[in-house]
């Protein structure tokens, strides 16, 4: 049986309160007493009991990372590993712990029911001090609930509500840069494979595409816009549907979809970039590994994760700080071979 505060107190010849003060770095303890207590703590290997502490302080030091929806695919996308790394790192750095809430991908059918259950269990039972939400569609029920329950949360992405804090990248500008790059290379029939249009990132990247075309005075051919789902499979399927309309360039709203599109193009006997230029989004490691290497829009995924956590911890530790916290990070166009750099 591990020792309790009480026992440490007895051994050190002081009261519970004093040990508590020592453990929690309260100032008003005589140095010699403090040292004596530390000595006992060291010898006994005392460690405060998390649950007891949480019960008294009403804080758990646990942050949740919630990725709603049935997301088989989302997890084959390295985007998540990278985000997770950022999140985990920031948690470590600030002595918070990380609880991961994914949702079963096996049965999409009951996924909402499960999500509901998890929400109850995890959030209402106060396991978490706050949460980071990523990759949720805009109409996900989690947002209204979080707001109603006044759970501190930060979104990786965006949500149109005054009390929503978020960290996002400038998807519109990123997408516009990508498409403008294609335009500069002389393309006019530029197609796009969008992300899911119920997600902010999906919408924004499409918006960037539209803006770029508009800026160049090119009218949008709606047949060149096909909705994907951020997965490789989705990219393949979307590209399949685009083929009949013979685009000379394709902007895919994620690298995974670009890779899918690449395969479909190749299977159709088209060469990239010679016959069709291709640009992705994310700059995941795979982007530079495929053949040809993918021109893409880099977003600082890891940083997105760690900033979200830091914002959240700021919220948790200074609740009085009013105002909403929002950060938008820049993107960067990474030119590789897949877009076919032509002579000026």
Q: Give the residues lining the site for a copy of itself (CB under 8 A).
A: 2, 45, 47-55, 60, 62, 75-76, 78, 80-82, 84-85, 88-89, 92-93, 95, 97-106, 114, 118, 120-122, 124-127, 259, 263, 285-286, 289-291
- Rounded to whole angstroms, the maximal C-alpha distance in the chain is 84
List 25, 42, 45, 56, residue binding DNA (CB under 7 A):
56
Laid out side by side, the sheet with 249-252 consists of 225-227, 190-194, 249-252, 277-282, 295-298, 332-334
CA atoms of 102 and 71, how far apart (whole Å): 8
Query: Which CB, 30 or 42, lies closer to DNA?
Result: 30
Instruction: List, in sequence order, every residue forming a beta bridge with 191; answer none if it has no partner.
Output: 250
In the 8-state DSSP scheme, what is residue 334? E
User: Of the two residues 7 and 170, which places its CB atom closer to DNA in the complex?
Assistant: 7
How, if at all, do strands 153-156 and 165-169 pair?
parallel
Q: Is 197 in the site for DNA (CB under 7 A)?
A: no
- Cβ 105 vs Cβ 128: under 8 Å: no
Nearer to DNA, 28 or 321 (CB): 28
Stretch that binds DNA, among 51-59, 62-70, 111-119, 315-323 (CB under 7 A): 51-59
Length of the chain: 344
Q: Closer CB to a copy of itself, residue 45 or residue 323?
A: 45
C-alpha dihedral, 137 to 140 to 144 to 147, nearest 10°:
-60
Residue 320, interface with DNA (CB under 7 A)? no
| Smallest separation, CB 11 to DNA (Å) | 12
In the DSSP assignment, the letter for residue 342 is: P
By the rule CB under 7 A, 298 interacts with DNA: no
- Extract the tokens encoding 3: 């020792």
Is residue 303 near DNA by the rule CB under 7 A?
no
For residue 273, whether the previous peptide bond is cis, meaning omega lies within 30 degrees of 0, is yes
CA 278 from centre of chain: 25
CB-based contacts of 161, cutoff 8 Å, min separation 6: 143, 147
Residue 299 to residue 314: CA distance in whole angstroms: 23
Nearest residue (CB) to DNA, 47 versus 120:
47
Task: Name the binder of 259 from a copy of itself, DNA, none, CB < 5-8 A by kind.
Answer: a copy of itself
List the single partner that 15 binds among DNA, a copy of itself, none, CB under 5 to 8 Å by kind.
DNA
Only segment of 42-50, 161-169, 250-258, 277-285 that touches DNA (CB under 7 A): 42-50
In whole angstroms, the minimum distance from the beta carbon of 20 to DNA comes to: 3
- Least distance to DNA from the beta carbon of 118, Å? 18
95 binds DNA (CB under 7 A): no
Q: Which is nearer to a copy of itself, 75 or 210 (CB)?
A: 75
Element (H, E) at 63: strand 62-66
Binding positions for DNA, rule: CB under 7 A: 1, 4-6, 13-18, 20-21, 23-24, 27-30, 33, 46-49, 52-53, 55-57
């Amino acid at each position: 049986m591990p020792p309790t505060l009480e026992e440490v107190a007895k051994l050190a010849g002081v009261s519970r309160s004093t040990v508590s003060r020592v453990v929690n770095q309260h100032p008003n303890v005589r140095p010699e007493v403090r040292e004596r207590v530390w000595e006992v703590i060291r010898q006994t290997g005392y460690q405060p009991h998390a649950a007891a502490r949480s019960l008294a302080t009403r804080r758990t030091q646990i942050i949740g990372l919630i990725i709603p929806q049935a997301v088989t695919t989302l997890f084959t996308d390295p985007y998540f590993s990278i985000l997770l790394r950022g999140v985990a790192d920031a948690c470590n750095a600030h002595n918070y712990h990380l609880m991961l809430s994914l949702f079963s991908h096996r049965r999409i059918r009951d996924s909402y029911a499960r999500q509901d259950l998890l929400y109850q269990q995890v959030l209402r039972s106060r396991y978490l001090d706050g949460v980071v939400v990523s990759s949720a569609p805009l109409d996900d029920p989690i947002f209204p609930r979080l707001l109603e329950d006044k759970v501190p949360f930060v979104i990786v992405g965006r949500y149109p509500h005054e009390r929503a804090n978020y960290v996002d990248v400038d998807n519109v500008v990123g997408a516009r840069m990508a498409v403008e790059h294609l335009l500069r290379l002389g393309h006019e029939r530029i197609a796009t494979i969008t992300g899911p249009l119920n997600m902010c990132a999906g919408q924004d990247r499409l918006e960037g595409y539209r803006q770029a075309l508009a800026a160049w005075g090119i009218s949008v051919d709606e047949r060149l816009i096909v909705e994907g789902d951020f997965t490789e499979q989705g990219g393949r399927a979307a590209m399949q549907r685009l083929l009949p309309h013979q685009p000379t360039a394709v902007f895919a709203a994620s690298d995974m979809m670009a890779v899918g599109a690449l395969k479909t193009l190749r299977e159709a006997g088209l060469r990239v970039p010679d016959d069709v230029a291709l640009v992705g989004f994310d700059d995941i490691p795979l982007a530079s590994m495929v053949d040809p290497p993918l021109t893409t829009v880099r977003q600082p995924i890891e940083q997105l994760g760690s900033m979200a956590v830091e914002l959240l911890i700021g919220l948790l530790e200074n609740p009085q700080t009013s105002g909403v916290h929002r950060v938008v990070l820049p993107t960067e166009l990474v030119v590789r071979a897949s877009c076919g750099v032509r002579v000026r």
